[in-house]
Amino acid sequence: MVGAARELIALLAAGAAGLVVGGLSTAFYFTLVGLGIGLAFHVATWATFTYVVREDRIELRRALVARSVKTIPRERIRGVDISASLPHRLLRLAVVHIDAGAEGGEGELNAVHRREAERLRRVLLSRARPAEPAAPPRRRLARMRRAWYVYAPLSGAYLLTPFALAGSLIGTLYNLGDDLGLVTQERVEGLGHDLVGLPTSVVFGLAVLFLLAMPVASVIVFTLFNWAFTVYERDGSIVAERGLITRRSVSLERRRIRGVELADNPFERRAGVLRLGALVTGLGDAAHRGRLLPAAPRRVAEGLAAQVFGAVPGPLVGHPPAARGRRVLRAVAPPLGVGALALAAGQPWVTYCCLVLAVLAVPLGLDRYRQLGHVTDGARLSLRSGSLRRRQVVVEHGAVVGWRLRQTLFQRRLGLTTLFAAVGAGEGGYPAIDMDEGDAVAFAAKITPGWVAPFLESPPEPG
């Protein structure tokens, strides 16, 4: 059905590459044998794997040892991702990943021709027109600018990459050396002595080098993953493409996008940078696959959010001052508690450290309070919380599948409630922490009057 030779080569190449990397730690001839078996296995897998696209379903058949037919109803397909690693790209091939809801059905088509992959995506996602459609127009919604890659160190997620890289490099070298008989007890001990014997200035210099390497490496890794990050619209789907070496493209069906999430941390906040993600129903690995912009100025991110989903409502309504004390207490209590335990256990130094942490936690708690907010504009609601990882979610009213109000004994005394909007997408529910009791009920009643109004207390009789 597809270009057979290309698949074959791709699978051979992929199999060989995988086995070479994986086989480094075993002896050489074992590797060769393994390689041979692996090749045979891959060829057999490839030769026995077929797929058929039917009116209402796609069938993936495997018939190597155990026969299996995986049938995915086409109306259940929620997204089709296309990714291509370097060998795949060299051979103009791609991996098609079919996502069919949270519980179970996922299908993968390895090594189909890139044009076939695009065709499959079009066909699978446009169930209105099962026939081969003409190439639809694609409209670009947003694209990463070069300058934005510099925002990478702000997110913190990529800062530890130099350590990870150094660790894996040392591990690989050790394995390699071990196999070739280069690593002996004496040499390791000698190396340890050499390291201890190094002058302080050299150690210091190495440490500084590592610190300098952190932001640089984070930018590099970030760029590798998010190179030419482009979001475009096609056929009622939002497609996000990214990656320098492995190119990945994720399509999200527009009618399944229930909302967006705007996230940042204090550093990003200062720089005015946001991460934008989509809340999609039934999307596995949503944190990665729902990503719409990894780092972009607020204006751009909000613009894209408006195009993909709808305008971000604002400004947010703050929460009552009674909530401030609770946020500060919540921030200060953990270090104080640990400190008290340490004191009881007779570790005064730990206690001092905890006291310092507790003092530092006060501004954190205040900021957490400042970031609390909620608002609705009649079609979408927005909730915001968090400080070190601040998140603002915007959800359409129709996506709310229930309300949960939680009130602890302490909250009741202060007249506060935490309102959770249950949403069948993203994390399943988003809290509006420490709202005023009455405001919380009124907020829910405004968004879904039919559900809440029958359960409101009737107003007291006049007089």
Instruction: Verify cis geometry, omega within 30 degrees of 0, for the bond prior to 315.
Output: yes
CA distance 109 to 195: 50
Residue whose CB is less far from other proteins, 12 or 102: 102
The CA distance from 433 to 383, in Å, is 9
Shortest Å, Cβ 310 to other proteins: 16
Least separation in angstroms between residue 409's CB and other proteins is 6
Scan for tokens 């497609």, then name that residue.
239
The residue range among 147-155, 158-166, 234-242, 344-352 that interacts with other proteins, by the rule CB under 8 A, is 344-352
Radius of gyration of the CA atoms of the chain, in A: 28
Q: Which is nearer to other proteins, 134 or 409 (CB)?
A: 409
Options 18-26, 109-117, 125-133, 406-414: segment touching other proteins (CB under 8 A): 406-414
- To the nearest 10°, the Cα dihedral for 59, 62, 66, 67? 40
Contact between 128 and other proteins (CB under 8 A)?
no
- 28 contact partners, CB below 8 Å, separation of at least 6: 179
Of these, 198, 203, 340, 422, which contacts other proteins (CB under 8 A)?
A: 422
- 432: contact with other proteins by CB under 8 A: no
What is the residue whose two structure tokens read 């320098």?
A: 244
CA distance 55 to 241: 28
d(CA 149, CA 296): 9
Told to check if 140 binds other proteins by CB under 8 A, we report no
Instruction: Please identify, using beta-carbon distances, which residue of 154 and 440 lies nearer to other proteins.
Output: 440
Which of 423, 432, 433, 434 is close enough to bind other proteins by CB under 8 A?
A: 423
Q: Exactly one of 58, 399, 416, 433 binds other proteins (CB under 8 A); which one?
A: 399
* Binder of other proteins out of 305, 425, 432, 433 (CB under 8 A): 425
**340 in contact with other proteins (CB under 8 A):** no
Quickly count: other Cβ atoms within 10 Å of residue 14's Cβ.
19
The interface with other proteins within residues 369-388 (CB under 8 A) comprises: 375-376
Among 181, 201, 344, 349, binds other proteins (CB under 8 A): 344
The single residue among 92, 299, 412, 413 that binds other proteins, judged by CB under 8 A, is 412
Interface region with other proteins, contact rule CB under 8 A, candidates 65-73, 105-113, 244-252, 396-404? 396-404
Half-sphere exposure of 412 (CA within 13 A, CB side): 4
> Residue 120 interacts with other proteins (CB under 8 A)?
no
| Type of residue numbered 359 | V
Q: How far is the CB of 56 from other proteins (least distance, A)?
A: 18
Which of 17, 86, 191, 456: binder of other proteins (CB under 8 A)? 456
**Is the sign of the CA dihedral 89, 113, 69, 235 positive or negative?**
positive
Cβ neighbours of residue 148 closer than 8 Å, sequence gap 6 or more: 273, 295, 296, 297
Query: Which amino acid, 403?
Result: W
Cite the DSSP H helix spans in 152-251.
152-155, 161-179, 185-197, 200-226
The residue among 261 and 439 lying less far from other proteins, judged by its C-beta, is 439
Question: From residue 348, how far is each of 340, 354, 360, 427 by CA, in Å?
Answer: 10, 10, 19, 41
- Considering only 172-180, 235-243, 266-274, 420-428, which stretch makes contact with other proteins by CB under 8 A? 420-428
CB 139 → other proteins: shortest distance, Å?
27
Nearest to 111 by CA among 126, 129, 90: 90
| Selected range binding other proteins among 23-31, 107-115, 204-212, 446-454, rule: CB under 8 A | 446-454
Footprint of other proteins (CB under 8 A): 281-282, 317, 344-346, 375-376, 398-399, 401-409, 411-412, 420-425, 428-429, 436-439, 441-446, 448, 450-452, 454-460, 462
